[in-house]
Amino acid sequence: MAWRGWAHRGWGCGQAWAPVAGGRSCGELPAALGSPRLLRVRFNFFIQQKCGFRKAPRKVEPRRSDTGTSGEAYKRSALIPPVEETVFYPSPYPIRTLVKPFFFTVGFTGCAFGSAAIWQYESLKSRVQSYFDGIKADWLDSIRPQKEGDFRKEINKWWNNLSDGQRTVTGIIAANVFVFCLWRVPSLQRTMIRYFTSNPASKVLCPPMLLSTFSHFSLFHMAANMYVLWSFSSSIVNILGQEQFMALYLSAGVISSFVSYVCKVATGRYGPSLGASGAIMTVLAAVCTKIPDGRLAIIFLPMFTFTAGNALKAIIAMDTAGMILGWKFFDHAAHLGGALFGIWYITYGHELIWKNREPLVKIWHEMRTNGPKKGGGSK
């Protein structure tokens, strides 16, 4: 906690050199401080074995989130929350801070794709039942008296007109809007900074790698990311399917956060990061790799079009330059990690991961078919 960090800092301040109490000699100090037993218990840390002055114990100074390695003021981006009052404690052994995030990334990615495989199995199993339920619902609607201006009917009509991809990302957009509203609650600021911003110098390392993917402090940042996600949702779901897309998106958020951790530890430029840009870059890179000849355009300049392949090359070049030159407005390492993961998955990962899900599905099928064995013997 920030207040604990400042209290620790306050106890460590004071004179670097202090004379021995009362100007007494070393031989007079035990008598002045009390019995030998008390001396051994409470004051043994402070008594030196030679006269003169003693050196105060050195304290580890916490690193503030708004300072860099050069000591210059950290130029905070408008896309991240004000964290000037938060104190971070980088580990004296930075590489060790990446061990837990690494295993969390590997474990979460495996669980995400495993859950997606089971989800797809359950969806296929219930598709026939859903088909008959849909026929029954259509028949009831045909004989049920219709109400003019029924709000629920309009919502259902709007929902049914959406593509599978748009219906899938609607939940993701709703989660991002909800977290954005939580940022507006003053009493939740410390909790949001701790769990919804990723920083390798923070005491909480693993949960923010996922939660920060749904976190936006700036309205413009959230609107831009959600617009891009909405635009590519239909294409990516048509390519991968609903279940595989969700596994890819969640895994991409964690993987891009881990790449950001590695870059910050390697360069020493600690600072909070948040936003869905890393996961969205995976989606964008996957679509552009699969459909390189597709035509794209900028929302404010629709008259200028370019191919998806050229757009992906330009984005990778810009993020690479930003990571090398230390640009701080965006987390370019997270963007680059997300883009490279999207390219790898659509090229090799789909064959290596998703095509080999059959053993897991068989185990799940046997568990569902057999169920727990009921005890009981013959009479």
- 224-266: pLDDT as tens digits: 999 999 999 999 999 999 999 999 999 999 999 999 999 988 8
Higher-scoring residue by pLDDT: 32, 139: 139
For residue 273, pLDDT beyond 80: yes
Share of the chain above pLDDT 90, in %: 39
Give pLDDT, residue 118: 92
Confidence of residue 125 (pLDDT cuts 50, 70, 90): confident
Does residue 350 sit in helix, strand or coil? helix
Range in 58-62, 228-232, 342-346 with the lowest mean pLDDT: 58-62
Token representation of residue 87? 């104190």
For residue 5, pLDDT beyond 50: no
* Count of CB atoms situated within 10 Å of the CB of 343: 19
Does residue 73 sit in helix, strand or coil? strand
Give pLDDT, residue 90: 56
Give pLDDT, residue 111: 94
**SS3 assignment for 117-184:** HHHHHHHHHHHHHHHHHHHHHHHHHHHCCCCCCCHHHHHHHHHHHCCHHHHHHHHHHHHHHHHHHHHC
Kindly report the pTM of this predicted structure: 0.72
Give pLDDT, residue 272: 87
Q: What gap in Å lies between CA 5 and CA 87, rounded to an integer? A: 6
Question: DSSP letter string over 94-118?
Answer: GGGGGHHHHHHHHHHHHHHHHHHHH
In this structure, are residues 163 and 233 in contact, taking their beta carbons and an 8 Å threshold?
A: yes
Measuring CA to CA, which residue among 68, 71, 8, 105 is closest to residue 201? 68
Question: DSSP letter string over 287-300?
Answer: HHHH-TT-EEEETT
Nearby residues of 368 by Cβ (< 8 Å), 6 or more positions away: none
pLDDT digit string (tens) for 133-148? Answer: 666 555 555 555 555 5
The mean predicted confidence, pLDDT, of the chain is 76
> Residue 179 burial (CB < 10 Å; 0-12/13-18/19+)?
buried
Confidence of residue 122 (pLDDT cuts 50, 70, 90): confident
For the residues 353-373, what does the mean pLDDT come to? 82
Give pLDDT, residue 162: 85
Query: Would residue 277 show up in a list of annotated catalytic residues for this protein?
Result: yes
For residue 325, pLDDT beyond 60: yes
- Please identify which of the residues 202, 216, 277, 332 carries the catalytic annotation: 277
Question: DSSP letter string over 317-337?
Answer: HHHHHHHHHT--SS-HHHHHH
Give pLDDT, residue 66: 40
Confidence of residue 10 (pLDDT cuts 50, 70, 90): very low
Give pLDDT, residue 79: 62
Q: What gap in Å lies between CA 137 and CA 146, rounded to an integer? A: 14
For residue 57, pLDDT beyond 70: no
Cα→Cα distances 292→236, 285, 309, 313, Å = 13, 10, 4, 11
For residue 178, pLDDT beyond 90: yes
Token representation of residue 99? 């061990």
- Please identify which of the residues 130, 335, 350, 365 carries the catalytic annotation: 335
Higher-scoring residue by pLDDT: 171, 373: 171
Give pLDDT, residue 64: 45
* Count of CB atoms situated within 10 Å of the CB of 242: 15
Rounded to the nearest 10 degrees, the angle between the axes of helix 219-240 and helix 242-267 is 130
Measuring CA to CA, which residue among 175, 294, 179 is closest to residue 231? 294
For residue 30, pLDDT beyond 90: no
pLDDT digit string (tens) for 291-315? Answer: 998 888 777 777 788 888 899 999 9
For residue 7, pLDDT beyond 50: no
Share of the chain above pLDDT 70, in %: 67
For residue 349, pLDDT beyond 60: yes
In this structure, are residues 258 and 102 in contact, taking their beta carbons and an 8 Å threshold?
A: yes
pLDDT digit string (tens) for 109-120? Answer: 999 999 999 998
Confidence of residue 336 (pLDDT cuts 50, 70, 90): very high
